[in-house]
Chains A and B, each alone.
Chain A
């Protein structure tokens, strides 16, 4: 039995198993229909081979740094795999003044062992600003939020390109995806009042088509076009912000009639009245969580440190063995070159 296990831990087998891993990685890159999950198979085989080698190969016991490198490498693979099972990834758009609602997160990846999302998080989106250098070259992004802590207190946070916001184990990263949102008030004929927002396409990237469709609570389909009083400045430094932005909204109805609403103005539609209440910014966030990430990082650094120690020891020994000869030879080379 032990002999079979030793065969499983053969170093020659390790070299052979590396080939299918390289081929699979290549296939993942080149062939769209090959899922990256296939990499797990050669990795698992290599993992078994490594475990068997560590258990049965005495050379690992003679070289503790090499052993540490391989154990850490195994840890990296195991922790990264576990991380994929616990991963949470999604996108959400938040408007200035909006309270975060986890049900609005568009989840793009959820690991098999991930049963919950950021439902318990409570924060309010504050001001958003993006600075641009001349030529509309995006510079710094700022996003202010008010976070409700467990003790009930509220704290203000500012984050952006170089610093993310991490609360409750979830990381919120600002993105290049941001734009204007019209705050609209709907007053139904029955007296009910609704306040909401319509997010227009990313700005200034889609400055030329600030249009969105909406079906009112009264059931009428309308098209909204945002008209800003001042366009993005392409020649000088510029700041994208909602403060001081004057606007109008062109409302086009299905009968072809278009009405322009300024701030505070209203329009009667089927079933109620629509008022252009305000103009704010929205920010597209990436939301992600992976509890294993820091451990993968630590294991990877430890494996690197162990390998460096191993190589150092190996070459120190080589230096001892070949030092005299090598020095003589190098001296000869210097003289002859």
Chain B
């Protein structure tokens, strides 16, 4: 029996609260506290489970995945971003300080989600194929990796950038390496997102590329990331902070692509709906 929209809203509200708890713990609990990692990761896990529950009840009620509306995209991104960051948080300790940036961002998404209309738009039959899944999953992986890298880059810029100048390996050095690994993986995911998106568009609308706003911004994100990765290898003498600031810039373009451009109108790829 389908669960009501009110229950779904309650799940989203509770998830946002859990992200709030995780954010507060990441910011206010001292680094020296041995239970900080367990506390933060537990709060993210609870928020993640509540988000999964909200997606599940919505999926059952509407009979389709969260693909079309701003509400859908925010909800699914809340899940995917939290999952990517939780994985990074548990596996790479150097990325844990980034929680101070990433978790408040997720809290902001949760609050935003509570403020937008939750009505669903039926998924057109031509949209529903495997390429849609590949396109969406690779896009969400890209955005998650980019957010994690941007979080770590912010911390490196504002807190530990001086450590990077030292000859010896430090936590900042490890975090810096992790940032570029994440951005490289993000580039692979973004590239695959564009390929899968073109195949999907060819199937859904009969054309693989039409320079619609979302496609163009996705290409600009890819080009900006390509430029950043290329520049870091080429201009080695420039200060590290320049490239870390570049990570933030790429994330800003990605944010506009994923959560700005598609919703200046009603739905993603509005031009062809």
Contact = CB atoms under 8 A, between A and B. Distances in A.
- Do the two shown chains form a genuine complex with each other? yes
Interface of A: 11-12, 14-15, 18-19, 21-22, 25-26, 28-29, 36, 89, 133, 137-141, 161-162, 164, 171, 173, 175-176, 286, 288, 293, 297, 300-301, 303-304, 307-308, 311, 314-315, 318, 322, 325-326, 328-330, 332-334, 336-337
Interface string B231-269: 101110000000000000000000000000000000000
B83 interface: no
A141 B125 CA distance: 9
A276 to B, nearest CB: 33
A7 to B, nearest CB: 14
A133 B62 CA distance: 13
B185 A311 contact: yes
Given A15-B235, A315-B184, A29 B96 contact: no
B60 interface: no
Chain B CB within 10 Å — which of A14, A15, A322 has the most?
A15
Given A26-B220, A337-B37, A337-B93, A297 B227 contact: no
A318 B177 contact: yes
A304 B188 contact: yes
Chain B CB within 10 Å — which of A26, A325, A337 has the most?
A337
B230 A11 contact: yes
Contacts of B129: 162
Contact of A304 (B126, B173, B192): B192
B188 to A, nearest CB: 6
B230 A333 contact: no
Nearest to B187: A307
B14 interface: no
B270 interface: no
Contacts of B36: 337
Nearest to B36: A337
A137 B62 CA distance: 13
B188 A308 contact: yes
